[in-house]
């Protein structure tokens, strides 16, 4: 596997090192040892699948507050997405900055998202499916979110939004949320309860 760190420290693009022949290719999509060698969370508590019927569907920007923070490893299964992550670590020099990475059957990429990051994506094709591994069990009481269209985030979604949930449309703007976010995401409160995404 090939790990390329993004501008957000600890967040990595993960490429499959493919062995190709006339049948196609073979490569590792996950290796616990390689993740651990980089200091990344490597245990999996849950594996989730998301299917979106329409191109332009938007999901996010989701996260879990401490102590239920989760790391994620997100990968396409079919189709393509623009995957976006936002750094929610108040002590980070990239606090509230984001990175966008296309994940598709063409590039075979995955995105490793550390704990204390928000995550969302937009589908680039009809009938897109993703799979992601999470380090922590889903904890409804720890759930949080950022508005995907918050002007302070300045996320350039590539397509008009074809579908988005009412919940995702109604998250508070950073203007109202930043104080709570900063307090609850501080390093002192952020000891993980599980490992990997």
The answer for residues whose C-beta is within 8 angstroms of residue 26's C-beta and 6 or more apart is 18, 19
Classify the C-alpha dihedral 4-139-157-86 as positive or negative: negative
Q: 10: left (phi > 0), else alpha (psi -120 to 50), else beta?
A: left
Question: Is 65 among the catalytic positions?
Answer: no
DSSP 110: E
What is the radius of gyration, based on Cα positions, of the chain?
16
Which pair of structure tokens corresponds to residue 142?
């720890």
Choosing from 62, 65, 121, 148, which is the catalytic residue? 62
Classify the C-alpha dihedral 10-104-139-97 as positive or negative: positive
Choosing from 65, 112, 121, 132, which is the catalytic residue? 132
Question: Is 62 among the catalytic positions?
Answer: yes
**Residues catalogued as catalytic:** 62, 132
């Amino acid at each position: 596997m090939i790990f390329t760190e993004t501008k957000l420290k600890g967040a990595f693009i993960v490429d499959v090192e493919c062995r190709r022949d006339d049948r196609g290719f073979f490569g590792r999509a996950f290796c616990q040892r390689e993740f651990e060698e980089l200091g990344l969370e490597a245990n999996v508590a849950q594996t989730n699948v998301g299917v979106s019927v329409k191109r332009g569907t938007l999901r996010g920007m989701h996260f879990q507050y401490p102590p239920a923070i989760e790391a994620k490893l997100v990968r396409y299964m079919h189709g393509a997405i623009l995957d976006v992550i936002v750094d929610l670590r108040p002590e980070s020099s990239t606090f509230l900055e984001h990175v966008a990475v296309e994940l598709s059957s063409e590039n075979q990429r995955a995105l490793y998202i550390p704990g204390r990051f928000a995550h969302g994506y937009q589908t680039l094709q009809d009938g897109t499916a993703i799979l992601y591994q999470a380090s922590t069990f889903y904890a409804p009481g720890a759930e949080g979110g950022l508005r995907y269209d918050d002007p302070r985030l300045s996320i350039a979604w590539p397509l008009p939004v074809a579908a988005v949930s009412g919940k995702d449309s109604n998250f508070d703007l950073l203007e109202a949320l930043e104080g709570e976010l900063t307090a609850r995401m501080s390093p002192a409160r952020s000891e993980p309860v599980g490992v990997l995404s």
